[in-house]
Amino acid sequence: MDNKIVLSPSLLSADFSDLGGALKEIEKTDGSWVHIDVMDGHFVPQVTYGQPVIKSIRKCSALPFDVHLMIEKPEMSIPSYIESGADYITFHAEATAHADLCIQMIHNAGKKAGVALCPSTPVSVLEELLPYIDLVLVMTVNPGWGGQKLIPYTVEKVRKLADIRRREGLGFLISVDGGVNSKTLPLVLEAGTDVVVSGSSFFTGELKWN
């Protein structure tokens, strides 16, 4: 695997009773981040973990923590996730009217700012923000549940972002989240993906990386 491509296994598919063990498993994989899905039961129906859990596992690994906030009004909570130990904080464009403020808050704390797009949200909503974003997360499934199949049209969104980045000389990373397995991995990489989020396929061993 090209070492320029980052694998970011999602703890959503890990054994919640042994997150420390899951982190050790992730550390064995070259080019890894740790993807941490935060769900509030409002923006998405599910509820996962929050700041105390992230803070408690921060001491278990030196890998970058890629915290994906699937929560409403992220501007209210960003400072506490920064304090918990996040390296990248990615919020949803659909969840706030204050995306620019969120990016400023994250950057002012010396962290990396990402913006996520649900499958049906067009790339065009990020037109003004792309010069200021460190990462764009393309949801290739509907957010909130693991184990879904990749939605084919989302791959074209990755390609559009890669074209804009090349044309405008921008430096943001492109991440994909959902339904990435050994069959779909080549599709998203060919389109221009830099960061691959994988949950169930990683922890079951179906996705072969090394």
Q: And the tokens for 20?
A: 């420390």
Instruction: Report the C-alpha gap between 88 and 194 in whole angstroms.
Output: 14
3-state secondary structure of 90: strand
Instruction: Report the C-alpha gap between 109 and 33 in whole angstroms.
Output: 20
> Is 177 one of the catalytic residues?
yes
* Other C-beta atoms lying within 10 Å of the C-beta of residue 34: 25
Query: Would the pLDDT of 78 be above 90?
Result: yes
pLDDT of residue 2: 46
Domains defined along the chain, listed by start:
6-203 (3.20.20.70)
Catalytic residue among 40, 66, 134, 177: 177
21 is in an annotated binding site: no
144 is in an annotated binding site: yes
Residue tagged 């919640």 (tokens)? 16
User: DSSP characters for 23-39?
Assistant: HHHHHTSTTB-EEEEEE
Give the pLDDT confidence of 4-35 residue by residue, as tens digits: 899 999 898 788 889 999 999 899 887 699 99
Catalytic residue among 37, 40, 66, 194: 37
The mean pLDDT of the chain is: 92
pLDDT of residue 199: 79
Report whether 40 contacts 70 (CB < 8 A): yes
Mean pLDDT in residue range 176-187? 92
Give the pLDDT confidence of 114-138 residue by residue, as tens digits: 999 999 999 999 999 999 999 999 9
171 is in an annotated binding site: no
> Is 2 one of the catalytic residues?
no
41 is in an annotated binding site: no
pTM higher than 0.85 for the full model?
yes
